[in-house]
Structures are given as structure tokens and as C-alpha cells.
């Protein structure tokens, strides 16, 4: 990993509050549904009302223009790229959307790793094999992993958004939930244009500022984008060699370990302590083996020095032992569901099997309001879960596991409608 904290390429996990333990957004490839959307994780939300010192968007734009000049953006760049930016009410509408119902992880993976996407991914990799293998040789990231990210982020370029990045970021900087973040990303976008990598008209992407085939936010583009085709420009909108090189470089800088797998599907022993199924819990593969964790296919566990066991479908679903490369994928989008989608799609593109275990498809995940109800109920029963917020984070799973343990249930922290109904009884 980098020595500094990396900003996720996408804002999806942070804007949307996507939680991998039970449910995920309808489509990670649809920029309009990314609440985080490729934005900075762990940044506190800001008020959505326009900043008090500006009575209009035009006043804000004039003030930002002066800041941009002071930051080194030229008058010519501002005239070409900024002076005509427009406020978008649609961007604000999408920024404020909080879907009540989300799809369970197995339905998300059904779409993200569908047979048609696998087939198209293999075709795209074959069509761009020279560029893909060149990036793999330089950065050590397998070509099928980058291809999988490309497929999930934009359906191989079929859907990377048609919002003007400049309009979207200007709107969010004026009235969005993360004004400070959008302000800085807008400056980065102007620097990209000033450097000559892309014209203002071609800088298109999601409503949240994610751009191009693999949905980089501007600051990530500035830091990690690469010129893969040697034409002197970094173009993740029109140059597939640049897309492969840039995305591989991002994962390389995120700590990808060449020659290691992302992880492996495993079998857990009876009586396994499910409180350890958090990404924050890390042991060597040897330690996990001593606890009874075995490879589902009967082979040996990867020789990870630091690995985590995750069970995103609870005790009834498949289990995975994941290592540093899985965590590198999460730096792209910090949702376990996303990481599994990239990992398993890359496996299938490469001809390896996907998920073998069965998901608990009969279980009904909770809506956001039901999660809040469960959190409030757990708190009232004396289990520490924090303020009810409708998000299934580590504290909520910890409290739920404690309640399950006290009820004589398998303490897997998997929140379902059946769990909530029993809790209310």
C-alpha cells in the first residue's frame, strides 16, 4: 500500500453507505446509483443546503474562479472549462438519494458475475491482449483483474456515465453533502484539462465525479493515471491501453502482491468462532488452518502471512479466506461485495470456477429502516451498537453476534428478517 491514505477511485462505498455484510446497491456499474459514489471514504457528510455566504450558484462560481487562479489554474483553462459550468438539480437529487431497499449480495453477484459478463470479459481481454499484458508485465497485476474492474465499473465502457464531470463537481461543491471534497476534486479536474489529457467536452462520467471506463475520480487520475499507448496523454475515456495501465498502476500502488491470489473459498469447522469473520481480524494461513479452516477444493491454503475469513452470507453461506490482494481491490471500492465481484469475475474470465458454495437465498435481508429498528432494539436490550443509522457496520454486527450467542444461535452477525422478528418476539 501507499504510505499515505489512498482516496478510493470510486465514491460508491462512501456515498452509498453500501455494506457488504448483507446487501449492496442495485448495480455498481450504474454511476447514478453510487451514493458514495466514488468519493472519499470516511469523510463526514456536510449539510446539503448551499453555503450561507453565497446567495446563488453564480456567486459561488465567481468565488471559486478566484481560488482556482490562485491555485495555478490559468485564465485560458478557466475560460474553456469552467466559466460555462452549470448547476445540475439532477446531481443533487442523486446525491441525496438513500434507497430504502437494497439487493442481497447473492443477487448482486448474479448480475456482476453473470455468464454474459464473463463471456464479454474474455472477448474484451482477447481483443486488447497486447495492452493488457503490457500493463500486467509493468505493474504485476493480472490482466483479468483489471478486466473485471472494467466490466463491473462500466460494463466494458457501455455505461460510464454522461454527466459533465465539471458540472457535477461544481454542483456538489456548491450544494452537495461533501462540499469540501467536491471542491478539491473540481480543482483536480481543472488541472487534468490544463495538462492537456482531455478536453472539457470529453470529461464525462458519473453524477458523483467518477470518470471513464474504470471510474477514476479526478484526484486519483492525477496521481495514478498512466499513458499506456505512448501518445503523450492519459486518456481513460478513449484509450484502452491507458485504461489498463492506469487501473493496474492504481492496484499496484494499493499494495497488490504479484504472484499471490486474492483469496480462496474455504470450509469452516463446526463450532467456528464467527466473531473472527471480520476483515479487521488477520492471521496467517497457518494459524487459520490450526483453527480448522480448510480449502473447499481440498488443496492447500495460500501461504498468506496476513489473511481474513469473511462470510458475507452468514453461517449458511460460503466462506472465503482473503489476503492482501483482496484488500487492494477494496481500496478501489471499500465494499466486500464489490471485492468479491471483482475477484470472482476475474477468476471466471481466467477460466477458474466462481463461488462454489450456496447462498442462503431463502433469507430476506433487512431494509435500512429495519436495520435501524434492529439497532434500536439491540440497544434497548443492552447490546452496544452505537447510534441507530441503518448501516450494518462492525459495531452492529458485534452487538448482533452477542445477542445471537445469548439466544443459543450461531453468532454470525448476519442480519435477516427472521432475526429481527425473533428479536422483537
The model's pLDDT over 70-81, given as tens digits with 9 standing for 90+, comes to: 999 999 999 999
CB count within 10 Å of CB 296 equals: 18
CATH of the domain at 88: 1.10.8.350
Measured over all CA atoms, what is the biggest interatomic distance in the chain, rounded to whole angstroms? 69
Q: Which of 153, 175, 185, 363 is catalytic?
A: 153
Query: H or E segment at 343?
Result: helix 336-349
Last residue of a domain, one of 218, 234, 267: 218
Residue 394 placed within a domain:
yes
Q: Please count the structural domains in the chain.
A: 2
Residue 348: closest CA among 252, 262, 256, 258: 262
Q: What is the mean pLDDT of residues 200-221?
A: 97
Is residue 175 a part of any domain in this protein?
yes
Give the range of the structural domain holding residue 419, as residue numbers without chain letter.
368-424
- Contact between residue 177 and residue 96 where contact means Cβ atoms under 8 Å apart: yes
150 DSSP 8-state letter: H
- From 218, 244, 264, the end of a domain falls on 218
pLDDT score at 48:
52
The predicted model gives 362-366 an average pLDDT of 91
Q: What is the mean pLDDT of the chain?
A: 89
Q: Say how far apart CA 298 and CA 287 lie, in whole Å.
A: 17
Phi, psi for 11 (deg, rounded to 5): -95, 5
Residue 308 lies in a domain: no
Residue 170 belongs to some domain of the structure: yes
pLDDT reported for residue 274: 95
> Is residue 86 included in any domain, yes or no?
yes
pTM to 2 decimal places:
0.88
Q: Is the pLDDT of residue 287 over 90?
A: yes
| Of residues 281 and 35, more confidently modeled | 281
pLDDT score recorded for residue 103: 86
Tell me the three state secondary structure of residue 104: strand
Residue 50 has a pLDDT of 62
pLDDT score at 414: 96
| Residue 179, all three cell numbers | 462540499
Annotation says 175 is catalytic: no
- Whether 76 is in a domain gets the answer yes
pLDDT at 31 > cutoff 60: no
pLDDT grade, residue 51 (50/70/90)? low
- Identify the CA nearest to 118 among candidates 83, 151, 159: 151
- Of 263, 396, 249, give the one whose Cα is nearest residue 331: 249
Helix (H) or strand (E) holding 308: strand 308-310
Q: What is the pLDDT of residue 102?
A: 80
Query: Residue 41: inside a domain, yes or no?
Result: no
Residue 340: inside a domain:
no
Amino acid at each position: 500500500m501507499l504510505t499515505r491514505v489512498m482516496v478510493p477511485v470510486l465514491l460508491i462505498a462512501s456515498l452509498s453507505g453500501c455494506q457488504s455484510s448483507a446487501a449492496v446497491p442495485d448495480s455498481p456499474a450504474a454511476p447514478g446509483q453510487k451514493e458514495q459514489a466514488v468519493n472519499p471514504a470516511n469523510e463526514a457528510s456536510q449539510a446539503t443546503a448551499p453555503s450561507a455566504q453565497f446567495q446563488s450558484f453564480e456567486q459561488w462560481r465567481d468565488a471559486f474562479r478566484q481560488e482556482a487562479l490562485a491555485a495555478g489554474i490559468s485564465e485560458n483553462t478557466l475560460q474553456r472549462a469552467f466559466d460555462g459550468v452549470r448547476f445540475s438539480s439532477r446531481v443533487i437529487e442523486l446525491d441525496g438519494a438513500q434507497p430504502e431497499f437494497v439487493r442481497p449480495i447473492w443477487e448482486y453477484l448474479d448480475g456482476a458475475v453473470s455468464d454474459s459478463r464473463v463471456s464479454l470479459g474474455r472477448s474484451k481481454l482477447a481483443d486488447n491482449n497486447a495492452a493488457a499484458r503490457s500493463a500486467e508485465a509493468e505493474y504485476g497485476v493480472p490482466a483479468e483483474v483489471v478486466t473485471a474492474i472494467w466490466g463491473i465499473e462500466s460494463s466494458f465502457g457501455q455505461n460510464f456515465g454522461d454527466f459533465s464531470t465539471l458540472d457535477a463537481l461544481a454542483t456538489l461543491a456548491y450544494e452537495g453533502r461533501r462540499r469540501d471534497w467536491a471542491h478539491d476534486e473540481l480543482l483536480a479536474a481543472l488541472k487534468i484539462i490544463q495538462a492537456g489529457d482531455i478536453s472539457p467536452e470529453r470529461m464525462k462520467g458519473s453524477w458523483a465525479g467518477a470518470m471513464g471506463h474504470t471510474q477514476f475520480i479526478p484526484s486519483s487520475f492525477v496521481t495514478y493515471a498512466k499513458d499506456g499507448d505512448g501518445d503523450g496523454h492519459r486518456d481513460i475515456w478513449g484509450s484502452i491501453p491507458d485504461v489498463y495501465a492506469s487501473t493496474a498502476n492504481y492496484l499496484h500502488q494499493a499494495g497488490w502482491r504479484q504472484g499471490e491470489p486474492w483469496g480462496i473459498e474455504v470450509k469452516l469447522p463446526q463450532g467456528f468462532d464467527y466473531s473472527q469473520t471480520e476483515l479487521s481480524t488477520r492471521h496467517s494461513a497457518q494459524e487459520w488452518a490450526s483453527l480448522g479452516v480448510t480449502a473447499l477444493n481440498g488443496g492447500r491454503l495460500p501461504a498468506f502471512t496476513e489473511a481474513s475469513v469473511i462470510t458475507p452470507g452468514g453461517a449458511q453461506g460460503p466462506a472465503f479466506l482473503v489476503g492482501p490482494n483482496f484488500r487492494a481491490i477494496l481500496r478501489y471500492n471499500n465494499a466486500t461485495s464489490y471485492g468479491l465481484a471483482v475477484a470472482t469475475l476475474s477468476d471466471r474470465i481466467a477460466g477458474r470456477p466462481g463461488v462454489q458454495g450456496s447462498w442462503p437465498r431463502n433469507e430476506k435481508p433487512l431494509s435500512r429502516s429495519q436495520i435501524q429498528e434492529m439497532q434500536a432494539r439491540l440497544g434497548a436490550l443492552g447490546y452496544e451498537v452505537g447510534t441507530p443509522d441503518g448501516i450494518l457496520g462492525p459495531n452492529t454486527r458485534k452487538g448482533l453476534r452477542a445477542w445471537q450467542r445469548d439466544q443459543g444461535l450461531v453468532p454470525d452477525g448476519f442480519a435477516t428478517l427472521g432475526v429481527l422478528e425473533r428479536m422483537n418476539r
